[in-house]
Structure 1
Amino acid sequence: MSKESLFAISLFPYLGFLWFLTRSGQTPRLALIGFYLTLLFVAVTIPAGIYAKVAYEANLADIDWLHGGAEFFLTLSNIFVVLGFRQAVVEKQRSLP
């Protein structure tokens, strides 16, 4: 199985994860936004990878400015997840006696 096929198939479990996470209603909103932003990372990475192949005849990882631009969205999603869970922990600590 090619890495591209594996990547495409891996989206289905992640979408299921998002569905259950959203439905549970227990995930901090900011963290949930971060998990959804991971899909934005995927949406940006795919065309960036195609552009790297067509324009530079190279892998995305070999074109620093393009790879860094795509990875920014992963960093952004991670920041939202961390801040969301941090906010939930702080709120929980405040509610304790």
Structure 2
Amino acid sequence: MLSKNTLFALSLFPYIGFLWFMTNSGKTPRLALVGFYVLLIFVAVTIPAGIYAKVHYGKDLANVDWLHGSAELFLTLSNILVVLGFRQGIIAKQKS
């Protein structure tokens, strides 16, 4: 059975494929696309934050509130951008 860390790392490949498709399709609202890319920032921040939590506090990231909350900020931002981007796309489609 794969460890959660291995599975997490392997999941990046299909996500990068998804980003490639969404970017090249030209049909994804720009703001939503930015939100999908911000999710990569969340991943990039979460990995070192998890290591820092383990090394300096001896705990998992989820158990170090200030660090976990700071990393989750990027996930929240990503979600907001995706929702607002698709909302803009729907409104623009309805107007045309």
Identity %: 73
Q: Deviations over 1:24-77 (max 9, x none)?
A: 000000000000000000000000000000000000000011000000000000
Alignment of 1:65 onto 2:66: yes
Q: Which residue of 1 aligns with 2:48?
A: 47
1:37 aligns with 2:38: yes
TM-score (norm 1): 0.96
TM-score w.r.t. the length of structure 2 is: 0.97
Q: What secondary structure is seen at the aligned counterpart in 2 of 1:89?
A: helix
Listed as ranges, the gaps of 5+ residues in structure 2 are: none
Structure 1 runs (4+) deviating above 3 angstroms are: none
Partner SS, residue 83 of structure 2: helix
Query: Counterpart of 2:88 in structure 1: which amino acid?
Result: Q
SS in structure 2 of the partner of residue 65 of structure 1: helix
Report the Cα distance in structure 1 between the residues aligned to 2:22 and 2:93, rounded to whole angstroms.
Answer: 19
Confirm or deny that 1:15 pairs with 2:16. Answer: yes
Corresponding pairs, count: 95
1:93 Cα offset (Å): 1.4
The alignment yields a C-alpha RMSD, in angstroms, of 0.5
> Could you say which residue in structure 2 is the equivalent of 1:24?
25
Extract unaligned runs of 5+ from structure 1: none
- SS of aligned partner of 1:8: helix
